[in-house]
Chain A
């Protein structure tokens, strides 16, 4: 992360992080929830933006918001509050149409407890270091490592290598 004494113009912030946020969201919620989740993430970021410290880790900060918005989507779905057009999309996340992608594995990622899921997605989709994962999910670096480790262990049980 570049450190500057001034916040970048919001458009540059959006340009710089939209891909990571989009991939994080696609891996965290169903495809038909992804657009709303993306919009809500950046609208929340925009509202808070002028109060942000210029030396903040902007990538971790916006992924923190995305993480919370994904949790909201999961909770809303658990309450049955959100009608979902495609029932098949409810259980798994979007599982993007990657030919190389192991569908069973990504289904299993979707079923991890929220913190473990976010840790795994932030690590392997957003490619964040442990320190930034910790910042994004709001825990210590040690706790982030543990969530990631536990998430991987669970995946190993569910998906035979």
Chain B
């Protein structure tokens, strides 16, 4: 190859790169407007894709971020029902990885399938709803956990039970500590009302979302007196 051919190849390569990569403006601006436009188009196309695959039933898990008095909650649903509610402190990637591992990696962010869940939660948080009418997907809950959480689901709005009572109702030979562990790993808090389970004697005990939130929920429901 002679020197000229090498030169020409370089020129073509440079022109190809120039046409496909951001030009750096001298002013420290990172992206050309063309590159930004391309990112925006790709993001919008991906959004349309997410809505479409959800509508066509091609995905196994839909999730959305919903505002709440606690901050943004991550809500996830399958075809069977609500499978996960995550508090704002939980790392989104970890939550999604848990869903990928425990349910399916076909997970897409799309708000529509969560519309009903969001509406019921809004009603609950503003005191207009006392019972959820949502279908639940128990995939992320083990066998023992399922027994404990089903018993917990039956504690009415405004009521409370002790860990020991829940354990006994769940037929647990392992007692209140095991029940406490099952409640602590409740993947669908608020909707499965593990906040209604307290220590014998009335102490609040623990809560996956923090004990202050447990207190807030119990005050909302009128189960304990507001100290404010």
Contact = CB atoms under 8 A, between A and B. Distances in A.
Interface string A124-161: 11010000000000000000000000001001100101
A14 B108 contact: yes
B52 interface: yes
A49 B105 CA distance: 8
A6 B97 contact: yes
Interface residues on B, range: 35 or more
B106 interface: yes
Interface string B58-81: 110101000000000000000000
Interface in A13-32: 14-15, 18-19, 21-23, 26-27
B12 interface: yes
Interface in B38-61: 38-39, 41-43, 45-46, 48-50, 52-53, 58-59, 61
A22 B19 contact: no
A6 B38 CA distance: 30
Mostly helix, strand, loop or mixed at chain A's interface?
A: helix
A26 B15 CA distance: 17
Contacts of B228: none
Interface-centre pick from B13, B19, B61, B93 (highest chain A CB count, 10 A): B19
Interface residues of A, number: 45
Given A102-B19, A124-B16, A8 B49 contact: no
B101 interface: yes
A35 B108 contact: no
Mostly helix, strand, loop or mixed at chain B's interface?
A: helix
Contact of B20 (A9, A42, A125): A125
A160 to B, nearest CB: 9
Contact of B19 (A19, A35, A106, A127): A106
A100 to B, nearest CB: 5
B109 interface: yes
Contacts of A18: 42-43, 45-46
A89 to B, nearest CB: 16
Contact of B108 (A11, A21, A98, A102): A11
A39 B15 contact: no
A2 interface: no
A102 B15 contact: yes
Nearest to B63: A11
A100 B19 contact: yes
B106 A38 contact: no
Nearest to B20: A125
B46 A12 contact: no
B109 A100 contact: no
A96 interface: yes
B112 to A, nearest CB: 15
A71 interface: no
Interface of B: 5, 7-9, 11-13, 15-21, 23, 34, 38-39, 41-43, 45-46, 48-50, 52-53, 58-59, 61, 63, 93, 96-97, 99-101, 104-109
Interface of A: 6-12, 14-15, 18-19, 21-23, 26-27, 35, 38-39, 42-43, 46-47, 49-50, 96-102, 105-106, 109, 120, 123-125, 127, 152, 155-156, 159, 161
24 contacts: A6-B101, A7-B105, A8-B100, A8-B105, A9-B61, A9-B105, A18-B42, A19-B38, A19-B39, A22-B41, A23-B38, A42-B53, A47-B58, A50-B104, A50-B106, A98-B34, A100-B18, A101-B19, A106-B19, A109-B16, A120-B16, A155-B12, A156-B9, A156-B12
